[in-house]
Structure 1
């Protein structure tokens, strides 16, 4: 890995990944991003994050495409000079909310968007690794995804007053986030034909209810973490309780009400991108809140 890792972003027009991208560009990191609407991304970086055009154009490559398109995902991962794929990925993909006539009234326009995104990114990594190029065979990127609190079956990370919102109103979107987490953790553990996963590591970021507020900074942000549920070498399926927590080092989640997208993105930059490997948050499920 170079002195500064190369970084690819998915869902960068969203607040969390977009803020992480802006911080990385401002610090001189070489980045790429996949965007369905590149003009929207450029506009957000200039107006919302106050980056000048020279900073953006000098260090960012934007590929037009969708995160569920395998060809586009491979293209953005391989868009760096020298032919080596990105060292670090950040995925902040989320779905547009929609209402439905159901016991669970809130759904998504695509209720499986996070699952599809995670599977497509993992499949792209495996495709690149399987190509007949020797320097790519030992390539193991670090993947960070943004999910949510309220989806952990082992640890309660939502305040009591918010539990109806999370466990009832948001049940459908949270199911999609939970599956996304399982895809990522399983990709870290299991690679067909190998004893190691296709990912070198992961960091799953679970923020509290997201706001569009100003960045308050690390002194205000509270952080907690737990290990992924693992038993007998296999990741436990969604909805199944951990059979042996003694095998996991549990720090415990941080429980709170809200956090701004700006602070989530800045935390990802400082604690994952800057190190290139997640540092102390490597292979952890991290909760962020005020």
Structure 2
């Protein structure tokens, strides 16, 4: 498997990439700093083997992302990319009035627009398109926020309000490119430009064929429970999931690699919630 990973220097993207590497995949990482893995013995093992490929670049910069696409294509003789792993997430600062603040506020949305708009022509035909997995969050829309456990609603409504507005806009972009009717509220002003649908290179409605969205519950840094369980300890459901309190980043990565990808026909085109 040939993988192009954006936002995978840490957290879910990192854990999923390591799992894929251990299964024999080749992963091209687009990294703002190549030194991020200098002391990482796990990644360095795969760098030395030639299956982890590090490309310096910013996912906000179209030229950098094109370079990442090219590097990923060059990993296989036929230039095919099997999977795009999009797990972009900024490091927030804290504001008393706004909660967690990401700079820029629409980081995930802008990065996804850039990734989709720079997709090489050779990968745009349905049969050649890579699978795209995007990680957003649970509770982004009014309906999914209403389904949150009552104890989490204040945190989601205040502390995570900004990052979640960004991820809602990210899902809006995906729905547009996939030709899906958008029945939720429109993203907040400023997260998408007035003419974003006309961005050069952005797939036309219905052109994006192979994608899945993972909406985790409140993320924790705990160990993967799935590693020691006879069956996965997490619950997954399309759309909404009741009593979705938390899930570890490592178990989201476990679901992505061990279930979602092998059972792609079950999950393709779906927005999947995951929680314990």
Normalising by structure 2, report the TM-score: 0.80
2:214 aligned partner: 205
Distance 1:64 1:274, change over 3 A: farther
| SS of equivalent residue, structure 1 residue 82 | coil
Q: What residue in structure 1 maps to residue 60 of structure 2? A: 68
Aligned counterpart, 2:172? 182
| Alignment pair present for 1:112 and 2:106 | yes
Q: Distance in 1 between the 2:268 and 2:111 partners?
A: 21
Given the alignment, which residue of 219, 224, 234 partners 2:237?
A: 224
Instruction: Say if 2:212 and 2:267, in contact at 8 Å, map to a contact too.
Output: yes
Q: Secondary structure at the match of 1:205?
A: strand
Quote how far apart the aligned CAs of 1:73 are: 1.4
Match of 1:255 in 2: 243
Q: Contact 1:32 / 1:63 at 8 angstroms: preserved in 2? A: yes
Moved more, 21-30 or 85-94: 85-94
8 Å CA contact 2:149, 2:242 repeated in 1: no
Distance 1:267 1:157, change over 3 A: farther
**Residue 152 (structure 1) aligns with:** 141
Matched residue SS, 1:16: helix
Structure 1 residues 211 and 195: CA distance shift in structure 2, 3 A:
closer
SS in 2 for 1:86: coil
Contact persistence 1:224–1:254 (CA under 8 A)? no
Q: What do the CA deviations read for 1:248-288 (whole angstroms, capped 9, x no partner)?
A: xxxx425321111111112111234445xx33111111111
What's 2:28 paired with?
Answer: 32
Give the deviation of 1:196 after TM superposition: 6.3
**Residues 116 and 203, structure 2, Cα contact 8 Å, conserved in 1:** no
Query: Which deviates more from structure 2 when the two are superposed, residues 69-78 or residues 144-153?
Result: 69-78
Look up the match of 1:279: 265
Give every structure 1 segment of 4 or more consecutive aligned residues whose post-TM-superposition deviation is greater than 6 Å: 190-196
Using the TM superposition, give the Cα deviation of residue 195 of structure 1 relative to its aligned residue in structure 2, in angstroms: 7.7
8 A contact 1:223–1:254 mirrored in 2: no
Q: Could you tell me how far apart the structure 2 residues matched to 1:10 and 1:211 are?
A: 21
SS of corresponding position for 1:200: coil
Would you say how many aligned residue pairs link Structure 1 and Structure 2? 248
* Cα distance, 1:210 vs structure 2: 1.0
Match status 1:99 vs 2:94: yes
Whether the 8 Å CA contact 2:43–2:52 is kept in 1: the answer is: no
Residues 136 and 98 (structure 1), Cα distance of their counterparts in 2 relative to 1, 3 Å cut: closer
